[in-house]
């Protein structure tokens, strides 16, 4: 029986008005099936889209396989799981919602019609944790780009090199997480036009491990032709560590065999429960590292994705525009926690005494720089982030690639910056100075291959001679020359 609308309770009227005003859920037909999204103010988002088959069972430690096409409409999945990971505290939310079946991506687009630049985010987390969750809540798409955020296998599932796996693939093993990222980029190339994106104008960008992985994709022959540009936020191919030869990397797989009593069989390892593998991951070690927190950040030359040293591969790779940078202060041990004779000798070798003098470790009058922090933080930021970023910029610009380098020094409370602090200024709404966001430079770069755009302070291009960069801080955009000489001249690693 019909009723007069005026007789309905006000709360029901409000709900009815919202329902009538809500746009229909958008749908897109991909190469694997139809996906439904959710309408947001000024955008549509599509979450949990599979780009590869579940890497479980016999597909553990193998290259990603094609998706089985589905019938009907696949619903938007805002709670798609993170890739399986241990609980390190800082990633507890991702840990609680993680699973092996995780090779999905999210898309946010202003409109499924059109041909916009595409920005593909690779999340950080030391290649052992984290997820793409929440990235597509960013309104960066208001500036006329399509945003994609990808998931990839982590830790022991994503980066373990094993002799049995190598025997199946002509002697190559490891870096399955990088293979996942390449598979995601192939999905983007095949499908993003239906989401309003331009497959010929794709920029990959990421932070920490995501930045490292993006730099390795610049090197990887298998990734050529899948993206046009890259933005690297606080991460380089090796984070200042030497690359890991495959023969050395396979010894980590031997440790896993011993811990899980597999007798060296990859078939047996594939049968082990996921939780047993996660427990084993916590016990794996690399004797060359200060801490095994970096176990999956030390890059393995696997023979497939990285057939040679990343340095050599980058020298041979196509010239593509790149933004490279790091934060003024990243992370490091607390005051008094560094064993200076050991860490300086290991990092600087015969230059250890010069480095000790640079950091004024024996100067009783030394005071901490308010922006750089105590010497432990200065040292860690230099050798893990700042100096490798300079070396990578040198390498790429030296072969003629357009490169822009930055240092970021801002925090919402005005205090010292920290690791990952820049993300809110890229994907969020934070301004580092009045009317200035990193997002504006990043989007300009994604659109044209040059971060400079009308209305923004100029950002001079990096060159090997002057090594120009800009400092983003509360004062605005300040051009500068060489960063942290002479300490960075003592370090050669990427």
Q: CA-CA distances (angstroms) from residue 314 to 117, 176, 187, 229?
A: 24, 20, 24, 14
CA–CA separation, 304 vs 296, rounded Å? 17
pLDDT above 70 coverage of the chain, percent: 95
Q: How many residues does the chain have?
A: 494
Contact in structure between 235 and 211 (CB atoms under 8 Å): yes
pLDDT at 16: 38
Q: Is the peptide bond before 486 cis (omega within 30 degrees of 0)?
A: yes
Q: Write the burial class of residue 12 (CB in 10 Å: 0-12 exposed, 13-18 middle, 19+ buried).
A: exposed
Q: 3: Cβ–Cβ under 8 A, 6 or more apart, which residues?
A: none
CB atoms within 10 A of CB 203: 26
**What pLDDT, in 10s, does the model give residues 351-394?**
999 999 999 999 999 999 999 999 999 999 999 999 999 999 99
CA–CA separation, 115 vs 199, rounded Å? 9
Report the largest interatomic distance among the alpha carbons of the chain, rounded to a whole angstrom. Answer: 90
Q: What is the mean pLDDT of residues 254-261?
A: 98
pLDDT band at 23 (very low <50, low <70, confident <90, very high): low
Token pair of 488 as six digits: 């960075």
**Regarding beta strands 43-50 and 38-40, do their DSSP bridges make them parallel or antiparallel, or are they unpaired?**
antiparallel
Flag whether pLDDT at 47 surpasses 80: yes
Q: What is the mean pLDDT of residues 53-65?
A: 98
Contact in structure between 184 and 268 (CB atoms under 8 Å): no
CB atoms within 10 A of CB 133: 20
Q: What is the mean pLDDT of residues 302-325?
A: 98
**pTM given for the model:** 0.95
pLDDT at 431: 97
Token pair of 224 as six digits: 């050529």
CA–CA separation, 325 vs 60, rounded Å? 34
Q: Write the burial class of residue 23 (CB in 10 Å: 0-12 exposed, 13-18 middle, 19+ buried).
A: exposed
Q: 231: Cβ–Cβ under 8 A, 6 or more apart, which residues?
A: 203, 204, 205, 206, 214, 322, 323, 442, 445
The runs of H, that is alpha helices, within 42-102 are: 92-96
CB atoms within 10 A of CB 467: 18
If you compute the radius of gyration of the chain from its CA atoms, what whole number of angstroms results? 24
CB atoms within 10 A of CB 485: 13
Token pair of 144 as six digits: 């006329």
Contact in structure between 175 and 223 (CB atoms under 8 Å): no
**What's the mean per-residue pLDDT of the chain?**
94
Which DSSP state fits 383? I
Flag whether pLDDT at 2 surpasses 60: no
pLDDT band at 12 (very low <50, low <70, confident <90, very high): very low
**What pLDDT, in 10s, does the model give residues 211-254?**
999 999 999 999 999 999 999 999 999 999 999 999 999 999 99
pLDDT band at 14 (very low <50, low <70, confident <90, very high): very low
CB atoms within 10 A of CB 462: 24
Q: How many CA atoms lie within 13 A of 287 on its CB side?
A: 3
3-state secondary structure at position 441: helix
Q: What is the mean pLDDT of residues 247-267?
A: 98
- Torsion over CA: 297, 298, 299, 303 (sign): negative
Contact in structure between 199 and 189 (CB atoms under 8 Å): yes
Nearest to 128 by CA among 293, 310, 327: 293
CA–CA separation, 468 vs 492, rounded Å? 19
């Amino acid at each position: 029986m019909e009723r007069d609308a005026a007789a309905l309770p006000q709360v029901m009227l409000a709900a009815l008005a919202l329902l009538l005003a809500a746009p229909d859920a958008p749908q897109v037909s991909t190469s694997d099936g139809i996906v439904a999204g959710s309408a947001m103010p000024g955008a549509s988002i599509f979450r949990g889209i599979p780009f590869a088959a579940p890497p479980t069972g016999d597909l553990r430690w193998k290259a990603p396989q094609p998706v089985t096409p589905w019938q009907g409409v696949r619903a938007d999945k805002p709670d798609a799981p993170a890739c399986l990971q241990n609980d390190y505290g800082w990633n507890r939310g991702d840990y609680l919602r993680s699973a092996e079946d995780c090779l999905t991506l999210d898309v946010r687009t202003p409109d499924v019609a059109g041909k916009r630049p595409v920005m593909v985010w690779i999340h950080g987390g030391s290649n052992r944790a984290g997820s793409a969750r929440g990235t597509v809540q960013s309104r960066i798409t208001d500036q006329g780009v399509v945003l994609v955020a990808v998931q990839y296998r982590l830790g022991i599932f994503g980066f373990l090199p094993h002799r049995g796996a190598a025997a199946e693939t002509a002697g190559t093993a490891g870096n399955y997480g990088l293979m996942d990222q390449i598979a995601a980029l192939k999905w983007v190339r095949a499908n993003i036009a239906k989401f309003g994106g331009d497959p010929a104008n794709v920029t990959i960008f990421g932070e920490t491990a995501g930045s490292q992985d993006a730099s390795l994709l610049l090197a990887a022959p298998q990734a050529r032709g899948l993206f046009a540009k890259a933005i690297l936020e606080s991460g380089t191919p090796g984070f200042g560590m030497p690359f890991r030869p495959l023969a050395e990397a396979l010894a980590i797989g031997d440790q896993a065999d011993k811990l899980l009593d597999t007798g060296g069989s990859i078939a047996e390892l594939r049968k082990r429960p996921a939780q047993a593998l996660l427990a084993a991951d916590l016990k794996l070690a690399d004797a060359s590292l200060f801490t095994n927190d970096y176990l999956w950040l030390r890059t393995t030359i696997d023979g497939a994705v990285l057939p040679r040293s990343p340095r050599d591969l980058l020298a041979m790779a196509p010239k593509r525009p790149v933004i490279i940078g790091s934060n003024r202060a990243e992370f490091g041990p607390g005051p008094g926690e560094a064993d200076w004779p050991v860490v300086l000798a290991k990092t600087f070798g015969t230059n250890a005494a010069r480095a000790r003098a640079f950091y004024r470790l024996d100067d009783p009058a030394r005071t901490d720089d308010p922006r750089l922090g105590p010497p432990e933080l200065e040292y860690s930021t230099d050798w893990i982030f700042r100096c490798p970023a300079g070396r990578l910029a040198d390498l790429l610009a030296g072969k003629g690639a357009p490169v822009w380098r930055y240092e970021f020094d801002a925090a919402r409370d005005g205090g010292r910056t920290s690791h990952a602090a820049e993300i809110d200024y890229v994907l969020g709404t934070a301004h580092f100075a009045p009317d200035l966001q990193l997002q504006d430079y990043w989007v300009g770069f994604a659109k044209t291959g040059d971060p400079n755009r009308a209305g923004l302070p100029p950002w001079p291009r990096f060159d090997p001679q002057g090594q120009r960069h800009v400092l983003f801080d509360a004062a605005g955009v300040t051009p500068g020359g060489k960063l942290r000489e002479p300490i960075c001249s003592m370090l050669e690693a990427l």
